[in-house]
């Protein structure tokens, strides 16, 4: 049972590296990669072919997911994508219509929540308002009929762990949102569960507290090595905290991968658009590494889309390069008209209209430093380059 | 550690015995069974009885035919309608002005008026009727013009007028409660918008105020109609020869022992009530959908003319309610009305009059106490299972439906149904010719059955109070407990009950006060060895011992008020204790 050993979680090879980005969940997952992962380590949580229907409405379909010991997985998606339903099914708070859940080698599909091994933090925290922080955390321990002294010690440790040492006698209403959140976390960890479930744990907090707490939670999780599944709709949160991100859309898994691979290699326009900001240009494939957008012919990474097929090409605003005077010949250079500038604090976002591509608008991010050198306030047009290796090509769905 | 072997997947422990789920299921089953036995089953023999002749033989629609062709009985139905409609118009009309004054004006003394306007809730309707006798009866203070000091005014109390005034006192606080709630729900931003758009005050009143409270207004109309239509106490005391359905049932059952006709008239009493109840449920659902959490409460602006006019009106209403109440107390303390006005407690010595005296008072106290204790426990547990339970959705929906039905059952109908259901030693199952011994027959004539009748009679309001309180508690408490393997009943006891304590006490008070003052549900049920205080008022009044009836009324009112004051005092301590977790 290596998954319960915190020290082991980082000593073995990071399983997320083995797990290849999956473009379509309905396709067979990379069999070789899976086998490689299995030979290294058994997944702690296996979600196999989970479906959930409410009457005629399909809330979840074809959900396959392995979560490895000590891993931090984020379920990310817009509201209504089924991520919370999936979390509740893992917890047993909701019954799935098809498929099975295996946790720690045991099929728990039909066990009630009280017979499963998990701790949970809800968006509302669900702290018992009539009990002090201490008694909230001790709630599950007391039910186990542990000796008083042992409970006392354990609660003290947990309070220290979440940085609330000495605040045990306060009632939830006397604490700030961030403190309440930590109490909820300590309570979820009190019984040393094999699995920690977090349901939008940060979204009720102020922006600043949220950023601070997300680092703390991620650190704590790595320190304890507890396998964690978190639901969030905030892509920045998922990118910052997760070992792997599961992007969900309309009840299916759109993509699974490390934050880096999902951000850099989105598998679909949905993922590209949902995570970060993305420019899309309509075009048509000219050759296996060439796409025409209006009068503009762009070099792209080679792909398998047939010639003549309508496509969207995608590039992130920060990946577009501004050409300075030095005329090093480069592919994909175009003239762009500046339609507007938006000050973002750390830099500027320019709204552009690229000449020759049927005037489809694009945005471009540049740093303040760069902007000053360019006298951006009075800028009317500039030359930009779309580096071919940064471009992604998505076939247009027939619509 | 590098040689981790594959864990074989253990097969699911299919259908492992889950104690918690079984406790939940059993409780839900018991809750539904309780309501089926308490509400549904008793209605069958009662409705069935209306199709039988006095010997218990099948008579088809003969009773209905007889009813509809007896002019005096048809007249009672029309009388009941007339009383109910008139009372409803007065109660809701004046109640609206009163509620408007409390919520939408800057009138002085709002707390005073809010509290005292609801005084009648603690006075049995028939006690008010006794007070009216001493004011407007033949020897009344008003009729005789304070015994010749002033010109007397005779309003012909006994009959339509007396019943309407008595029912008005009964319905008025109910209308005020519903209308204050409706008026409080309005969003102030609507008024700001109307003002900005330049709408006149009158136009704003019709387009904003009336539109936004229309559901509350309709609800008040339905509730007042049902109360006035089905009440028994007031027409019994001041009805004179003016018959209404409720007194007819009483006369048929107690006077003529004609249970079949009693059941037939009960059906005529039941149908309009059920109809109004149905309308009210539809309206309530609409109103709930209107409430938005983001509403901004309205802060009324001072308007001296309106404020003082309202003050005058509210003072008049409170003065009237108080005069009636004061007269009851005065009459109970006067030696021999209207000849000897020296004060004495001799009317409180019930030994020389019928009705059961202090024994009856003591029985009523016990009954009210048991009703409060058991009723609160049952209602709140039921509300919890319906609101927070997991699984068995159909059973929870059924329990919810059955929990709201008692509101539609007039007390007299419920009481009569219980007589038929529990008194019969043998149950005949219709259309089968089968018969079984009644396993609940032993309950008949016991305190337990009186308590059960009271709990069911006042079930719905308490149930809705409970579910409203439970809805405000975080829905994830049960999930969090389950994640810590703490069974739901422990969390119920440690978290849910403490958090709902104000609502639980409110339910207890409601049960206690109503069990103290009610007569309709228990007048057919109480056995001779268990006389009750409220029933004693009826019997004393029947025997002409009106002063003793006034004394008994005073005792009941003071008890109810005492319990209410004790409750406020108790919850004050509670509020301070829970200050730490209720306020930041």
State the DSSP string of B314-380.
HHHHHHHHHHHHHHHHHHHHEEETTTEEEE-SGGG-GGGSSS-HHHHHHHHHHHHHHHHHHHHHHHH
CB under 8 Å to A191, separation ≥6 — which residues?
A119, A140, A141, A144, B484, B485
CA distances to A86, A104, A294, B169, B253 from A198, in Å? 12, 19, 47, 56, 65
DSSP summary character for residue B4: P
**Residue A348 φ then ψ, to 5°:** -125, 150
What is the percent of chain A where pLDDT is above 70?
88
Task: Determine the pLDDT at residue B578.
Answer: 59
SS3 A54: strand
Å from A120 to nearest chain B CA? 7
Residue written as token pair 């149904």 = B417
* Structure token digits, residue A141: 């321990």
Cβ separation B7–A8 shorter than 8 A: no
B582 touches chain A (CB under 8 A): yes
Say how far apart CA A186 and CA A197 lie, in whole Å. 13
pLDDT over threshold 60, residue A266 = yes
Identify any residues that bridge with A227 across adjacent strands, giving them in sequence order: A195
pLDDT over threshold 60, residue A37 = no
Which one of A40, A119, A171 has the shortest CB-CB distance to B580?
A: A171
Identify any residues that bridge with A283 across adjacent strands, giving them in sequence order: A311
Q: Which residues in chain A touch residue B484, judged by CB atoms under 8 angstroms apart?
A: 119, 139-140, 143, 187, 190-191
Q: Using an 8 Å Cβ cutoff, are B16 and A111 in contact? A: yes
Omega within 30 of 0 (cis) for the link into B338: yes
Task: Determine the pLDDT at residue B494.
Answer: 92
Out of A367-381, B310-324, B369-383, pick the least confident. Answer: A367-381
Which one of A38, A110, A128 has the shortest CB-CB distance to B495?
A: A128
Which one of A105, A116, A129 has the shortest CB-CB distance to B9?
A: A105
Determine the average pLDDT of the residues in B15-34.
83
Interface list for B 465-494 with A (CB within 8 A): 474, 476-477, 479-487, 490, 494
Mean pLDDT for all residues in chain A = 84
**Residue A243 φ then ψ, to 5°:** -75, -40
Torsion A151-A154-A160-A164 (CA) sign = negative
pLDDT tens, residue by residue, B446-487: 999 999 999 999 999 899 889 888 988 888 999 999 999 899
Q: Using an 8 Å Cβ cutoff, are A289 and A302 in contact? A: yes
Cβ separation B483–A102 shorter than 8 A: no
Determine the average pLDDT of the residues in B421-445.
81
Confidence of residue A166 (pLDDT cuts 50, 70, 90): confident
Confidence of residue B367 (pLDDT cuts 50, 70, 90): very high
Identify any residues that bridge with A278 across adjacent strands, giving them in sequence order: none
pLDDT over threshold 60, residue B2 = no
Determine the average pLDDT of the residues in B44-54.
85
pLDDT over threshold 50, residue B230 = yes
The crossing angle, in degrees rounded to 10, of helices B71-104 and B110-117 is 160
pLDDT tens, residue by residue, A373-383: 777 777 788 88
Task: Determine the pLDDT at residue B449.
Answer: 95
Say how far apart CA B546 and CA B553 lie, in whole Å. 10
First-to-last C-alpha distance (Å) of chain B: 51
The crossing angle, in degrees rounded to 10, of helices B19-35 and B393-404 is 30
Between B294 and A38, residue with greater pLDDT: B294
Determine the average pLDDT of the residues in A16-39.
41
Task: Determine the pLDDT at residue A24.
Answer: 37
DSSP one-letter string for A312-333: EEEE-GGGPEEPPS-----SSE
Q: Which residues in chain B touch residue A111, judged by CB atoms under 8 angstroms apart?
A: 12-13, 16
Å from A87 to nearest chain B CA? 12
Q: CA nearest B497 in A: which residue?
A: A130
Element (H, E) at A76: strand A72-76
**Residue B193 φ then ψ, to 5°:** -60, -45
Q: Does domain B72-287+295-344 have CATH number 3.40.250.10?
A: no
Q: CA nearest B477 in A: which residue?
A: A126
Out of A10-24, A180-194, A311-325, pick the least confident. Answer: A10-24
Determine the average pLDDT of the residues in A60-80.
93
- Other beta carbons less than 10 A from residue A274's beta carbon: 22
CB under 8 Å to B177, separation ≥6 — which residues?
B118
Task: Determine the pLDDT at residue B183.
Answer: 84
Q: For the purposes of burial, counting CB atoms within 10 Å of the CB of B114, is it exposed (0-12), middle (13-18) or buried (19 or more)?
A: middle
Determine the average pLDDT of the residues in B21-33.
90
DSSP one-letter string for A210-241: HHHHHHHHHHHHHHHT-EEEEEES-HHHHHHH
Confidence of residue A326 (pLDDT cuts 50, 70, 90): low
DSSP summary character for residue B205: I
Task: Determine the pLDDT at residue A382.
Answer: 85
Cβ separation B583–A173 shorter than 8 A: yes
Say how far apart CA B183 and CA B96 lie, in whole Å. 9
Task: Determine the pLDDT at residue B212.
Answer: 79
Confidence of residue A40 (pLDDT cuts 50, 70, 90): low
Which one of B1, B10, B485 has the shortest CB-CB distance to A114?
A: B485
Task: Determine the pLDDT at residue A358.
Answer: 66
Cβ separation B476–A122 shorter than 8 A: yes
Superfamily of domain B1-44+368-527: MetI-like (1.10.3720.10)
Q: Which residues in chain B touch residue A106, judged by CB atoms under 8 angstroms apart?
A: 9-10
Say how far apart CA B79 and CA B60 lie, in whole Å. 27
Task: Determine the pLDDT at residue A244.
Answer: 95
pLDDT over threshold 80, residue B3 = no
Q: Which residues in chain B touch residue A42, judged by CB atoms under 8 angstroms apart?
A: 4, 6-7
Q: Give me the residue spans of the domains in chain B.
A: 1-44+368-527, 72-287+295-344
User: Cα B358 to chain center, whole Å?
Assistant: 25
* Structure token digits, residue B523: 């007048």
Å from A170 to nearest chain B CA? 9
B206-234: burial string, b at 16+ Cβ within 10 Å, e else: eebbeebbebbbbbbbbbbbbbbbbbbbb
* Structure token digits, residue B370: 């048991």
Say how far apart CA B208 and CA A16 lie, in whole Å. 60
* β-pairing verdict for A392-395 and A310-315: antiparallel
Interface list for B 484-543 with A (CB within 8 A): 484-487, 490, 494-495, 498-499
Task: Determine the pLDDT at residue A4.
Answer: 39
Q: Which residues in chain A touch residue B14, judged by CB atoms under 8 angstroms apart?
A: 110
- Other beta carbons less than 10 A from residue A304's beta carbon: 7
Q: Using an 8 Å Cβ cutoff, are A292 and A284 in contact? A: yes
Q: For the purposes of burial, counting CB atoms within 10 Å of the CB of A396, is it exposed (0-12), middle (13-18) or buried (19 or more)?
A: middle
Å from B8 to nearest chain A CA? 6
The HSE-up count of residue B105 (CA atoms within 13 Å, CB side) is 25
Determine the average pLDDT of the residues in A351-365.
82
Q: CA nearest B12 in A: which residue?
A: A107
Mean pLDDT for all residues in chain B = 85
DSSP one-letter string for B15-63: T---HHHHHHHHHHHHHHHHHIIIIIHHHHHHHHHTTB-TTS-B-TTHH
Determine the average pLDDT of the residues in B129-153.
83
Q: Which residues in chain B touch residue A94, judged by CB atoms under 8 angstroms apart?
A: none
Task: Determine the pLDDT at residue B312.
Answer: 94
Cβ separation A174–B580 shorter than 8 A: yes
Torsion B531-B534-B537-B539 (CA) sign = negative
Confidence of residue B5 (pLDDT cuts 50, 70, 90): very low
Q: Which residues in chain B touch residue A109, judged by CB atoms under 8 angstroms apart?
A: 12
Å from B487 to nearest chain A CA? 8
Determine the average pLDDT of the residues in B91-107.
91
Task: Determine the pLDDT at residue A9.
Answer: 37
- With CA atoms as reference, report the closest residue to A120 among B18, B494, B476, B495: B476
Interface list for B 1-40 with A (CB within 8 A): 1, 4, 6-16, 18, 20-21
Best mutation target among A89, A128, A169, A225 (most B Cβ atoms within 10 Å) is A128
Determine the average pLDDT of the residues in A255-264.
92
Cβ separation A108–B494 shorter than 8 A: no
CA distances to A255, B123, B136, B145 from B164, in Å? 73, 16, 13, 22
Best mutation target among B473, B483, B583 (most A Cβ atoms within 10 Å) is B483
Number of Cβ pairs < 8 A linking chain A and chain B: 113
Torsion A82-A83-A87-A93 (CA) sign = negative
Cβ separation B484–A143 shorter than 8 A: yes
Task: Determine the pLDDT at residue A195.
Answer: 95
SS3 B584: coil
* Structure token digits, residue A241: 């905290």
Say how far apart CA A361 and CA B220 lie, in whole Å. 60
Q: CA nearest B492 in A: which residue?
A: A128
Cβ separation B482–A102 shorter than 8 A: no
Cβ separation A111–B582 shorter than 8 A: no
Do the two domains B1-44+368-527 and B72-287+295-344 of this chain adopt the same fold?
yes
B146 touches chain A (CB under 8 A): no
Q: Using an 8 Å Cβ cutoff, are B103 and B185 in contact? A: no
Task: Determine the pLDDT at residue A260.
Answer: 92
Å from B13 to nearest chain A CA? 8
């Amino acid at each position: 049972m290596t998954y319960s050993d915190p020290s082991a979680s980082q000593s073995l090879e990071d399983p997320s590296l083995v797990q290849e980005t999956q473009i379509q969940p309905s396709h067979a997952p990379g069999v070789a990669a899976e086998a490689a992962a299995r030979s290294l380590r058994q997944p702690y949580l296996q979600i196999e072919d989970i479906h959930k229907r409410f009457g005629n409405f399909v809330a979840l379909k074809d959900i396959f997911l392995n979560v490895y010991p000590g891993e931090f997985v984020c379920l990310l998606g817009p509201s209504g994508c089924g991520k919370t339903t999936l979390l509740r099914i893992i917890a047993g708070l909701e019954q799935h219509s098809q498929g099975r859940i295996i946790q720690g080698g045991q099929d728990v599909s039909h066990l009630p929540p009280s017979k499963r091994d998990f701790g949970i933090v809800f968006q509302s925290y669900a702290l018992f308002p009539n009990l002090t922080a201490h008694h909230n955390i001790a709630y599950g321990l007391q039910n186990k009929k542990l000796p008083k002294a042992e409970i006392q010690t354990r609660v003290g440790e947990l309070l220290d762990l979440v940085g609330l040492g000495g605040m045990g006698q306060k009632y939830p209403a006397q604490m700030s949102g961030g403190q309440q959140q930590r109490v909820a976390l300590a309570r979820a960890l009190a019984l040393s569960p094999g699995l920690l479930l977090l349901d939008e744990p940060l979204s009720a907090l102020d922006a600043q507290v949220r950023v601070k707490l997300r680092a703390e939670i991620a650190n704590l999780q790595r320190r304890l090595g507890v396998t964690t599944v978190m639901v969030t709709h905030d892509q920045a949160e998922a990118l910052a905290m997760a070992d792997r991100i599961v992007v969900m859309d309309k009840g299916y898994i759109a993509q699974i991968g490390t934050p880096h691979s999902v951000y850099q290699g989105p598998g679909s326009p949905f993922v590209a658009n949902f995570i970060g900001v993305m420019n899309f240009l309509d075009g048509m494939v000219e050759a296996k590494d060439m796409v025409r957008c209006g009068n503009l012919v762009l070099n792209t990474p080679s792909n398998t889309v047939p010639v003549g097929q309508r496509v969207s090409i995608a590039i992130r605003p920060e990946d577009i390069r501004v050409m300075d005077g030095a005329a090093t010949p480069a592919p994909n250079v175009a003239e762009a008209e500046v339609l507007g500038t938006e000050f973002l604090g750390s830099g500027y976002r320019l709204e552009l209209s690229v000449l020759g591509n049927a005037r489809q608008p694009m945005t471009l991010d540049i740093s303040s430093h760069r902007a000053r050198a360019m006298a951006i306030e009075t800028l009317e047009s500039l030359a930009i380059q779309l580096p071919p290796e940064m471009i992604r090509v998505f076939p247009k769905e027939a619509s | 550690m590098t040689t981790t072997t594959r864990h074989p997947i253990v097969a699911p422990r299919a259908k492992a015995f889950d104690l918690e789920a079984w406790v939940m299921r059993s409780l839900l089953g018991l809750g539904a069974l309780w309501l089926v036995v308490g509400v549904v089953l008793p209605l069958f023999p009662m409705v069935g009885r209306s199709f039988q002749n006095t010997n218990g033989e099948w008579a088809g629609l003969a009773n209905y035919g007889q009813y509809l062709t007896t002019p005096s009985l048809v007249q009672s139905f029309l009388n009941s309608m007339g009383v109910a409609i008139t009372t409803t118009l007065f109660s809701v009309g004046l109640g609206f002005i009163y509620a408007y004054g409390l919520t939408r004006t800057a009138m002085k003394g709002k707390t005073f008026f809010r509290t005292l306007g609801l005084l009648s809730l603690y006075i049995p309707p028939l006690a008010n009727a006794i007070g009216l006798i001493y004011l407007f009866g033949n020897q009344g203070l008003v009729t005789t013009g304070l015994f010749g000091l002033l010109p007397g005014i005779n309003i012909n109390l006994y009959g339509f007028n007396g019943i309407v005034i008595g029912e008005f006192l009964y319905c008025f606080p109910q209308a005020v409660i519903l209308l204050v709630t409706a008026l409080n729900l309005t969003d102030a931003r609507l008024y700001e918008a109307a003002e900005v758009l330049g709408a006149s005050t009158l136009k704003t009143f019709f387009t904003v105020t009336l539109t936004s409270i229309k559901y509350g207004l309709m609800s008040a109309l339905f509730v007042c109609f049902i109360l006035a239509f089905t009440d028994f106490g007031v027409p019994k005391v001041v009805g004179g020869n003016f018959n209404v359905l409720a007194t007819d049932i009483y006369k048929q059952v107690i006077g003529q022992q004609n249970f079949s006709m009693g059941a037939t008239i009960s059906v005529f009493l039941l149908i309009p009530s059920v109809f109004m109840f149905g309308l009210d449920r539809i309206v309530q659902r609409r109103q709930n959908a209107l409430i938005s959490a983001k509403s901004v409460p309205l802060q009324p602006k001072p308007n001296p003319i309106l404020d003082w006019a309202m003050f005058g009106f509210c003072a008049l209403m409170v003065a009237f309610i108080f005069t009636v109440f004061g007269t009851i107390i005065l009459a109970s303390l006067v030696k021999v009305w209207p000849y000897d006005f020296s004060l004495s407690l001799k009317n409180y010595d019930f030994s020389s009059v019928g009705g059961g005296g202090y024994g009856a008072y003591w029985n009523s106290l016990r009954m009210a106490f048991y009703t409060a204790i058991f009723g609160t426990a049952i209602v709140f547990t039921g509300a919890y299972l319906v609101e927070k339970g997991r699984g068995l959705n159909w059973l929870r929906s059924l329990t919810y439906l059955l929990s709201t039905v008692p509101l539609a059952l007039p007390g007299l109908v419920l009481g009569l149904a219980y007589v038929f259901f529990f008194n019969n030693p043998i149950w005949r199952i219709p259309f089968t010719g089968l018969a079984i011994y009644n396993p609940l027959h032993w309950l008949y004539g016991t305190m337990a059955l009186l308590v059960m009748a009271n709990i069911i009679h006042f079930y719905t309001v308490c149930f809705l109070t409970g579910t409203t309180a439970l809805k405000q508690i975080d829905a994830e408490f049960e999930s969090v407990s389950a994640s810590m393997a703490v069974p739901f009943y422990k969390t119920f006891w440690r978290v849910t009950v403490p958090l709902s304590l104000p609502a639980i006490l409110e339910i207890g008070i409601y049960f206690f006060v109503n069990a103290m003052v009610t007569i309709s549900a228990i007048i057919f049920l109480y056995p001779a060895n268990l006389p009750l205080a409220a029933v004693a008022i009826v019997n004393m009044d029947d025997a002409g011992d009106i002063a003793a009836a006034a004394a008994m009324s005073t005792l009941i009112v003071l008890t109810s008020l005492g319990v209410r004051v004790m409750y406020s005092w108790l919850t004050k301590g509670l509020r301070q204790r829970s200050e730490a977790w209720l306020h930041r």
